[in-house]
Chains A and B, each alone.
Chain A
Amino acid sequence: MSLLRELWLVTEKDLRIELRSRVTLGQVLPFGLIVLLLFAFALDPDRGLLPKVAPGLFWVAVLLAALLAISRSFSIEQANGARDGLRLSGLDTGAMFLGKALAVVVQLLALEVVLGLGVVLFYDLTPRAAEILVPTAVAATVGLAAAGTLYGVLAAGLRVRETLLPLLLLPVLAPVMLGATRAFEAGLGLNGSTGEAWPWVELLALFAVIYTTMGFLAFGPLLEEA
C-alpha cells in the first residue's frame, strides 16, 4: 500500500472518530470561543484596544484549542490498547504521523474559520488581505499539528501526559505564535505594510517543514518506546 493511502487511512479513521464523538465540535470549539469572549471582557472593547491585539488573541485561542485537539488525538489511542493495535497494524510509521497530523490540521482549520468569525463579531475587526491570512493560517496550522503530533507521541505513554504535553509543547510553539501574529498584524494593516507579512509566512513554512520532517522520521521509534 502506498504511503498516501496509508496516510489517508489514518486520517480518515481519526476524523471518523471525531465526527462520531464530536469532541472538537462540542468541547474544543466552545472552549476557543469562550477564550475569545473572555479576552473581550477583560480588555474592554470601548477603548479600541481589542482590534489592535486581535491577531495575538486569535492565535492564543487557536493554540489553546490545538492543545486539546492534539491531546484528544492521542487519547483515542489509549483506550482498549488501540496504540498497540496501531503498532501491530503494519502501517508505515511515517504515514501514521502524517495521517494523524493531517487529521489535526483539518480540525484546526475548521476551528480557525469559526474562531475567525468570532474575532470579527466580538472584536469589531474587518477581515481583508485573504492572500496573506490564508497562507499564514495554513502554514501555522501545519506547524502546530506537526509539532503537536510529534510531542503528542512523546508524551503518549506517560501517566502525566495531559499536564506534560502543554509544558513540552508551548515553548516549542512560541515561534508559530510570534510568526502568525506578526503576519496577521501586517496582513490586516495593524502593524506595518502587507509586504512585511511574507518573511513571517516564510518562517512559519520553514517551521512546518522542519517539524513535519522530524515527525516523519522520529514517530516510529517514539511510538515503539511510548
Chain B
Amino acid sequence: MSLVVRLRSAVCLLGRFPALAGVDLDVDEGELVLLSGPNGAGKTTLLRLLAGMVPLHSGEAHVLGHDLARDRRAHRRDLALVGHETFCYDDLTVAENLRFAARAAGRAASASDEAMARLGLERLAGVTHGRLSAGQRRRLALAVALARDPRLLLLDEPHAGLDAQGREVLDAVLGSAPADGRTVIVASHELDRARALANREVHVVAGQAHATEAPFAPALVVDAAT
C-alpha cells in the first residue's frame, strides 16, 4: 500500500502564530483517518496544508507523491476539499456547479450526474446554489467533491448542517471510500459517528498531531448501495 500523505515536523504559520507546530503524519492509500481535537487545535489548517492552500513554513510535506515545499498546486487535480464553505457559485444551478467541478478536474460530465444521484440532489438539479437551504448546500459541497473523483478526500466538519438523512448519505460515502480506492481524512466533532467509520484516529492539540491509539478496524461498514 502506498503512502498518500507523509508529514515530518510540518510547521504552518498563520501570521506569526504557529497553527501547526511540527506535525508528523503518515496516511496510507485507502485509509479513513479521523482528525479529532478541540476548536483552534489546527485541524482545519492541517487539511488546508494537505490541499496546498496554506504554505509549509518548515519541515516536510509530501501529498500524493508531490513535495508541497516545491509545488503546492500540482496535486490538486487529484484531491477534493470539503470545507466550511461550498466553493460554489450562487448563480449556477446544482447541475452546472457539479459539471464545472467535474470538467475542471478532467472528469467526464457523467461523473457529475453520478455525484448528484449519490447525494440525492437530482430533484434540485435546476435550482441555483443561492436558493438552496444550508443543508442542501452541504450536500452539494460533498457532491462537488465526489464529482472530481478524487484520490484524496479532505473533509472539514462534514456532518455540520446535515439532517439525519444527509448524515446517512455522508456515512455511506465515507464507508465506501476504501472500496472506491479513495483515501479520506476527516476532521469532525461528531466523534461517535466518525469513529464508527474510521480506521484510525489522530488527535490534534495545539498544532500537534498524536495518534490516540493503535489502528482500529471500522466498527461500522456501510454498504455504498444503501
Rounded to whole angstroms, the CA-CA distance of A81 and B88 in the bound complex is 7
Q: Does A21 contact B (CB under 8 A)?
A: yes
B residues in contact with A6, CB < 8 Å: 104
Q: Mark A80-98, 1 if CB is under 8 A from B, else 0.
A: 1110110111110100000
Taking the complex as formed, is B8 at the interface, i.e. its CB lies under 8 A from any CB of chain A?
A: no
Separation of A85 and B101 alpha carbons in the complex (Å): 9
Q: Which of B53, B85, B104, B128 has the most CB of A within 10 A?
A: B104
Q: Which of A8-25 contact B (CB under 8 A)?
A: 9, 13, 16-17, 20-21
On whether the beta carbons of A84 and B85 are closer than 8 Å, the reply is yes
Q: B105 to A89, Cβ gap below 8 A?
A: yes
Knowing A1-B106, A81-B87, A90-B104 touch, does A16 contact B96 (C-beta < 8 A)? yes
Residue pair B104, A17 in contact (C-beta under 8 Å) = no
* Chain B residues with CB below 8 A from A81, complex form: 83-87
Measured CB to CB, the closest approach of chain B to A69, in angstroms, equals 15
- In contact, A88 and B90 (Cβ under 8 angstroms): no
Contact-size category for B: 20 to 34
Chain B residues, CB < 8 A from A89: 76, 101, 104-105
Knowing A84-B53, A88-B80, A89-B76, the reply to whether A79 touches B90 (Cβ < 8 A) is yes
Is B66 an interface residue, CB under 8 A from the partner? Answer: no
Mark interface residues in B77-94 (1 if CB within 8 Å of A CB, else 0).
111110111111111100
- Chain A residues contacting B103 (CB-CB under 8 Å) are 1, 9
Cβ-defined contact, B87 with A82, below 8 A: yes
Known pairs A80-B89, A81-B87; A88 contacts B51 (CB<8 A)? yes
CA distance A85 to B80 in the complex (A): 9
Distance from A99 Cβ to chain B, minimum over Cβ atoms (Å): 11
Nearest Cβ in chain B — how far from A97, in angstroms?
14
Cβ of A63 to closest chain B Cβ, rounded Å:
26
State how many angstroms separate the Cβ of A22 from the closest Cβ of chain B. 10
Scan residues 86-143 of chain A and give those whose CB is less than 8 A from a CB of chain B.
Answer: 87-91, 93
Residue B159 at the A interface, CB < 8 A? no
Interchain CB contact (< 8 A) of B91 among A17, A87, A88:
A17
User: Which positions 27-66 of chain B face chain A at CB distance < 8 Å?
Assistant: 51, 53
Chain A residues positioned under 8 Å from B148 (CB to CB): 90
Q: Of the candidates B76, B96, B129, which one forms a contact with A80 in the assembled complex, judged by CB atoms under 8 Å apart?
A: B129
The chain B residues found within 8 Å of chain A, CB to CB, are: 51, 53, 73, 76-81, 83-92, 96, 100-101, 103-106, 128-129, 144, 148
Nearest first, the 5 A-B pairs at minimum CB distance are: A85-B87, A90-B77, A81-B85, A89-B104, A17-B91
Q: List 28 A-B contacts (CB under 8 A).
A: A9-B100, A13-B100, A16-B91, A16-B96, A17-B91, A17-B92, A20-B91, A20-B128, A80-B86, A80-B89, A80-B90, A81-B85, A82-B88, A84-B85, A85-B86, A85-B88, A85-B144, A87-B53, A87-B73, A88-B51, A88-B53, A89-B76, A89-B104, A90-B76, A90-B77, A90-B104, A90-B148, A224-B73
Q: Which residues of A contact B (CB under 8 A)?
A: 1, 6, 9, 13, 16-17, 20-21, 76, 79-82, 84-85, 87-91, 93, 220, 224
